[in-house]
Structure 1
């Protein structure tokens, strides 16, 4: 918070210097900006430095303290607060000054603790008043800007606003958008800055650059701040807008990193024409993703064409093919190329939105076709609504890449589930049809699977190769028939469980059970 200006008025040098050393002025919220040893000099000093507080003695030569207070109060020179310093004998005299609204009076010799307490309470009061003034000015400025850009302001209103803003009829004005980017909640670790805080710091830096207490009029648009930039702010920069914007952006970077983008409309001359500058600033917003330094000036880009083009069909199809094959490195290489083109080929924001949406819809379609739920993706909703946030091109690429990573993980999981379900179906089919003539190749053809891949998947899932599983299944069924039917001949059992050759059946049975089918039956008897 800025220190409030104060002056000391006393004809005794010793008293003034002693008071300056006695009090910790900065701790109390004040700074001494001038001294005077009589009321006449004090009048001139008050007009020149515009203090918020005047500390004055009652008895002084030329013009005494009471007359000083009366003249400042009645002649509307300004309205500082007054604190009177008086001796015991001047107490009644000092009381007369109270009718002029004197804040307080202190009796000599001055008590440091008591006087500091008075100053601190006054500091709180001044801060509260200043905050209220800023709020009123902000509200007034916001309503004024709204009327101007909607074309609803009449000539009398415009004249009144120009007077309050200390503007002349043809003073230069520029409408400027300040936009805070990458201030979002799509990542849990992010701590967003409120619009009110952003506006407060923007106002603070504008005041610091202009070295003026006069608040700059601002208006809160949906997701950025509009600033009515008067020409006097450019005076320290020889009227050069680009120099001012570079300095302003650097000042905001201290608070927000490299998240602030600035978009300047064209210069107009007079408040009545600010709507034209506002429209130009809106046009400048469209060039956000074509620049590197986060500053767009309408006068520099108005002749440059934006592109509204879609992805090449072959390139998009390859992107989707790589995604479905889970070749995510190849997918990300394509994304890098696309985002490079967005800047270099001057894509309009709407064109970028259209192309990203095409990719998102393609990925969502793939997930649905695999019976997955795309709504389970935490990155989907932010990406579908990215234009409601203020995102730099780099952050948009990060968000898109995060969506691809998460979608890729979901597709991999769905594929595992499908593979698991598919191999279970194949196993059930074998168990139901083991007596038929079947091979790994014929099963793979029936289920539209590569036979080598099916063999590997079967071994990975069940721990045995397909042929071993089928043989064990047939032998187990043969053993059941040998136990349950003494009348069935060996060749009949072989044929029943899927062996076309009885001798081959006997060989395979003996290989697994270490005895022939006949020996197995005899053992049971």
Structure 2
């Protein structure tokens, strides 16, 4: 906590100088921010400096100490005062108590230890008060957030109006401030990381008006998944170009303010059209959410303005999409990875002088997932073998921030599918059956005996031909497969390591760690840390 500021008020200069020299202010956590020789001068300094403590004499010309306290108390009930006076009159002390001062000290009886003890007491109380206020503000903010989001979902204009407190004849805009890479960095799985980034953004938004020396942010709320809704005041100028310039100035200043508090993360900010009144708010909120989706095309760390982005939308024809999907199928059948990469990239990059409509992008994603699913069915490939999880991860690409990340994910999985198909065609039917049994039952305590029984093959014969065709024993193949499953789970989920070990079919966590280190040369924990870095 920064040093508390102290203002010394006394009409006698020697008294001010003595008090200034009497104490090592900095060592106690204080600094003397100013000195005043009367109440009027002190009040002007109070307005300018906002001291934490005012130490004041009583009898002074122009404005007395008690008059000073009374004037400040009218506007600030929490200001801390210490009276230091030559007068022991009961009436003065009684008035001081009534005004809720910290203490009333007599100059002639003053000891250094007394003032130090009093200051330390004030310091502790101030720190506790600040902490309590922060907690109360956080609770109020959380409550307001929940109320606002609930009112938006329920289209409760009265509740929205209470939360936003919009003024008449003022132009506003809705911003959605979104943390980039919130999912791909797996930040959403780390509670401490979530709280840190939320605190950085909250601090930026809370202090923005003071730092800009004007009211720009009307209100804000955290809406989950690394996103804040922010209502800002924009110029009432009728010129659209001036409004655009004003809104971009606001978001650029907001981005700069955030970067001073957090150099590790970036943010994307979407901007709705301007509006007045709560009746238009819901529509602008939808606009801001819609335009944020076009981060996929424009990239991260960008300002996404509804007026500039939405008019650029284009759509690929259904026949063009079908032709491109057919080419991808042909590339897979020919094991032509180079052409496959080009076709998938072109599929998403088609006509992106504008932006592909977001809903049509979902259609393209769906077509590729359908194609992956068919490949698995036609070639006896389990989802666990291809994706590391036992289901088709259709929600995975929704977590990416850019089209480039979607392209990369699909290319990787199509490449993996081609590799698995080529591996399967290398082996005889019996070995493929054995491998399929392992892939479907790796979570169980399977052995050579179990596989031979299931396939109705003598275990000695199966062991020999398996080693001849694959180059490894069945037990080693099972171990390698389990390790690969564990690696995919480490890379793609937030599961605890012991849970991953169990899921991959290891007896216990110790067995998992020993086997993992034997194959990979490092422990599962070290592997996860390396992936983070």
With the shorter chain as reference, the TM-score category is: 0.5 to 0.7
Alignment RMSD (CA, Å)? 4.5
Q: Deviations over 1:411-440 (max 9, x none)?
A: 34433445773899xxxxxxxxxxxxxxxx
- Asked if 1 retains the 8 angstrom alpha-carbon contact of 2:259 and 2:266, the reply is yes
- Asked if 1 retains the 8 angstrom alpha-carbon contact of 2:383 and 2:391, the reply is no
- Asked if 2 retains the 8 angstrom alpha-carbon contact of 1:268 and 1:276, the reply is no
Q: Find the aligned partners of 1:42 and 1:31 in 2 and give their Cα distance.
A: 16
Aligned to 2:516: none
Q: Find the aligned partners of 2:127 and 2:97 in 1 and give their Cα distance.
A: 21
Q: Find the aligned partners of 1:259 and 1:123 in 2 and give their Cα distance.
A: 35
Alignment of 1:333-352 (within 5 A): 333-341=342-350, 343-352=352-361
Partner SS state of residue 175, structure 1: strand
The question of 1:389 aligning with 2:399 is answered yes
Aligned to 2:57: 57
Q: Find the aligned partners of 1:247 and 1:380 in 2 and give their Cα distance.
A: 46
- Asked if 2 retains the 8 angstrom alpha-carbon contact of 1:180 and 1:390, the reply is no
Q: Find the aligned partners of 1:2 and 1:229 in 2 and give their Cα distance.
A: 30
The alpha-carbon deviation at position 138 of structure 1 amounts to 5.5
- Asked if 1 retains the 8 angstrom alpha-carbon contact of 2:324 and 2:347, the reply is no
- Asked if 1 retains the 8 angstrom alpha-carbon contact of 2:55 and 2:84, the reply is no
The structure 1 residue matched to 2:304, chosen from 286, 296, 301, is: 296
Aligned to 2:284: 277
The question of 1:375 aligning with 2:384 is answered yes
Q: Find the aligned partners of 2:236 and 2:89 in 1 and give their Cα distance.
A: 48
Partner SS state of residue 288, structure 2: helix
Q: Find the aligned partners of 1:66 and 1:133 in 2 and give their Cα distance.
A: 32
Partner SS state of residue 220, structure 1: strand
Aligned to 2:133: 130
Aligned to 1:244: 250
The alpha-carbon deviation at position 77 of structure 1 amounts to 1.9
Q: Find the aligned partners of 2:470 and 2:169 in 1 and give their Cα distance.
A: 86
- The alpha-carbon distance between structure 1 residues 191 and 154, as it changes in their structure 2 partners (threshold 3 A), is closer
- Asked if 2 retains the 8 angstrom alpha-carbon contact of 1:265 and 1:297, the reply is yes
Consecutive unaligned residues in structure 1, runs of 5 or more: 425-456, 464-525
- The alpha-carbon distance between structure 1 residues 147 and 250, as it changes in their structure 2 partners (threshold 3 A), is same
Q: Find the aligned partners of 2:306 and 2:205 in 1 and give their Cα distance.
A: 21
Count of aligned pairs between the two proteins: 420
- Asked if 2 retains the 8 angstrom alpha-carbon contact of 1:291 and 1:343, the reply is no
Q: Deviations over 1:237-293 (max 9, x none)?
A: 997111222232344356265642111111123455433432332342343333256
- Asked if 1 retains the 8 angstrom alpha-carbon contact of 2:152 and 2:282, the reply is yes
Q: Deviations over 1:336-369 (max 9, x none)?
A: 3334337445112332222123222222322232
TM-score with structure 1 setting the length:
0.65
Aligned to 1:358: 367
- Asked if 1 retains the 8 angstrom alpha-carbon contact of 2:312 and 2:354, the reply is no
- The alpha-carbon distance between structure 1 residues 304 and 113, as it changes in their structure 2 partners (threshold 3 A), is same
Consecutive unaligned residues in structure 2, runs of 5 or more: 238-242, 435-464, 472-533
Partner SS state of residue 269, structure 1: coil
Aligned to 1:69: 69
- Asked if 1 retains the 8 angstrom alpha-carbon contact of 2:174 and 2:271, the reply is yes
Aligned to 1:495: none
Partner SS state of residue 77, structure 1: coil
Aligned to 1:219: 221
Q: Find the aligned partners of 1:324 and 1:363 in 2 and give their Cα distance.
A: 13
The structure 1 residue matched to 2:431, chosen from 408, 418, 421, is: 421
Partner SS state of residue 303, structure 1: helix
The alpha-carbon deviation at position 387 of structure 1 amounts to 5.6
Partner SS state of residue 381, structure 2: coil
Partner SS state of residue 210, structure 1: helix
Aligned to 1:268: 275
The alpha-carbon deviation at position 51 of structure 1 amounts to 4.6
Partner SS state of residue 240, structure 1: helix
Q: Find the aligned partners of 1:105 and 1:239 in 2 and give their Cα distance.
A: 56
Q: Find the aligned partners of 2:250 and 2:79 in 1 and give their Cα distance.
A: 36
Q: Find the aligned partners of 1:264 and 1:20 in 2 and give their Cα distance.
A: 52
- The alpha-carbon distance between structure 1 residues 289 and 392, as it changes in their structure 2 partners (threshold 3 A), is closer
The alpha-carbon deviation at position 170 of structure 1 amounts to 1.1
The alpha-carbon deviation at position 84 of structure 1 amounts to 0.6
Partner SS state of residue 76, structure 2: coil
- The alpha-carbon distance between structure 1 residues 348 and 91, as it changes in their structure 2 partners (threshold 3 A), is farther
TM-score with structure 2 setting the length:
0.64
Aligned to 1:307: 315
Alignment of 1:188-207 (within 5 A): 196-207=195-206
- Asked if 1 retains the 8 angstrom alpha-carbon contact of 2:205 and 2:220, the reply is no
Aligned to 1:140: 144
Q: Find the aligned partners of 2:389 and 2:155 in 1 and give their Cα distance.
A: 41
Partner SS state of residue 78, structure 1: coil
Q: Deviations over 1:80-133 (max 9, x none)?
A: 332314368649654652333334566744448535533531342242243123
